[in-house]
Amino acid sequence: MSILKGKVVLITGGTGSFGKKFSKTLLDEFAPEKLIIYSRDELKQYEMQEQFSGYANVRFFVGDVRDSERLLRAFHGVDYVVHAAALKQVPAMEYNPSEAIKTNIMGAMNIIEAAIDRKVKGVIALSTDKACNPINLYGATKLCSDKLFVAANSYASISGTKFAVVRYGNVVGSRGSVVPFFLKKRVEGLLPITHPEMTRFWITLDQGVRFVVKNFDRMKGGEIFVPKIPSMNIMDLAKALAPECKTKIVGIRPGEKLHEVMISADDARYTKELEDCYIIRPAFPWWDNDNHAGGRAVPESFHYSSDSNNEWLKLDQLREMINNI
């Protein structure tokens, strides 16, 4: 049983890869009273309406997270919000930093204000590994967003709204990910590799969706939830996708890391480990350290990085994940 059952749920960026998977899962398994898809692309909404025509409790709201008045209208009567809207293409955001700031930071502020004003019960914002020790503009804006959502709990007491963040790594098969890129290049017989030692955390859309749903039930407000997920090496991925192809080392792109980090050593003192995830707790006086009492503190030197992970995907596991996209 989920807290979302029988409730009105809104998802921003609902026409994206995560949004469509979240919507299908929520409608099929968790019986919301109503699901509202909020996004700025009317064509994608039209296409999604066609796909979801069999559901009577889905509503579509054209709007941008930059538009605070539109958000206030959309949030009327909403119980829970998933904030998945973002500008996230690293090279494009390096060239257009002001646009990333308007959507990823100012948009986050608008979500927070609308949620408090409309007395939304709970909000979970999607983050990224790139928000931890960011080296690119996208990561920097998502770090700001994460901190905005955590701090929002400080002044949301009047409305009772709770805010939390879910942070995870690469999603298998999502738009802009390496899998569709490699599949496209496979027909040419040559896969471009940025660096042979590059590693990434790996999660499926289904795993990401279910992790978000689960955290609505256990959030107290202020947490950054980080799932325990496996790592993979980029060369192993190339072998799994196209063993017949040659590879060419092209070098790391601007703003790109060799390895992903989702929890830094500086965050270790605030981090608890649960069976399925880590929780970075807020460093605010209102936080009750007895929250999530079943967790244990991690060592002070702890950091969660894709190159030092305890779990690694083997070739057959990678192939199975890719075949199930």
Q: What global pTM score does this model have?
A: 0.94
Report the C-alpha gap between 227 and 204 in whole angstroms: 12
Question: Which domains does the chain show, CATH number per domain?
Answer: 8-170+203-229+261-298 (3.40.50.720)
Q: Which long-range contacts (CB under 8 A, 24 or more apart) does 295-301 make?
A: 296/272, 297/271, 297/272, 297/273, 298/268, 298/271, 298/272, 298/273, 299/268, 300/265, 300/268, 300/269, 301/265, 301/268
Beta strand segments in the chain, E: 8-12, 34-39, 58-62, 80-83, 122-126, 162-166, 170-171, 190-193, 199-203, 224-227, 231-233, 246-249, 261-263, 271-273, 277-280, 296-297, 304-305
Question: Per the residue annotation, which of 130, 142, 162, 257 is the catalytic one?
Answer: 130
Report the C-alpha gap between 302 and 10 in whole angstroms: 36
Q: Is 130 a catalytic residue?
A: yes
Q: Which of the 8 DSSP states describes residue 261?
A: E
One digit per residue, the tens of pLDDT, for the chain of length 325 reads 799 999 999 999 999 999 999 999 999 999 999 999 999 999 999 999 999 999 999 999 999 999 999 999 999 999 999 999 999 988 899 999 999 999 999 999 999 999 999 999 999 999 999 999 999 999 999 999 999 999 999 999 878 999 999 999 888 867 667 888 888 888 899 999 999 999 999 999 999 999 999 999 999 999 999 999 999 999 999 998 888 999 999 998 888 899 999 999 999 999 999 999 999 999 998 898 888 888 899 998 899 999 999 999 988 888 888 777 6
Tokens 């039209």, located at residue: 46
Q: What token pair was written down for 98?
A: 């002001």
